[in-house]
């Protein structure tokens, strides 16, 4: 008689905690993480007085490099850079700006 009560008292709380933990992780991973990364990149661009969006920077950079890139690829790169390499936006912008400044000086 003691064994079923013990199992019930142990399994149900552990199951609830596991379900809540997995649910919380999935919400963070698929919703909150991207939101926070996007906000961070936008604040960084604003801090450096860059008026272009992430999408515009990627599109202009690939045009500058002479590469054809589809809208779907741009959106994929935007999310990837935003989450894994947020400083990449600044380096792309700087490279385009530096090259345009040197061509204007000639």
Q: Is it the case that residue 81 has pLDDT exceeding 50?
A: yes
For 33, residues 6+ apart whose C-beta sits below 8 A from its C-beta are 83
Which helix (H) or strand (E) segment is 87 a member of? none
Query: With the CA atoms of 42, 45, 47 and 50 taken in that order, what torsion angle do they form, in degrees rounded to the nearest 10?
Result: -130
35 touches 55 (CB < 8 A): no
Burial class (CB in 10 A: 0-12, 13-18, 19+), 61: buried
> What gap in Å lies between CA 21 and CA 23, rounded to an integer?
5
**pTM (2 decimals)?**
0.75
List pLDDT tens digits, range 15-48: 999 999 999 999 999 889 999 999 999 999 999 9
């Amino acid at each position: 008689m003691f064994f079923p009560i013990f199992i019930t008292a142990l399994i149900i709380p552990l199951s609830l905690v596991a379900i809540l933990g997995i649910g919380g992780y999935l919400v963070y991973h698929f919703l909150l993480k991207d939101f926070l990364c996007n906000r961070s990149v936008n604040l960084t661009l604003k801090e450096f007085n860059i008026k272009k969006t992430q999408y515009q920077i990627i599109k202009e950079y690939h045009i500058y490099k002479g590469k054809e890139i589809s809208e779907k690829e741009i959106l994929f790169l935007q999310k990837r850079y935003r989450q894994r390499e947020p400083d990449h936006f600044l380096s792309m912008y700087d490279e385009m700006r530096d090259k345009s400044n040197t061509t204007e000086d000639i």
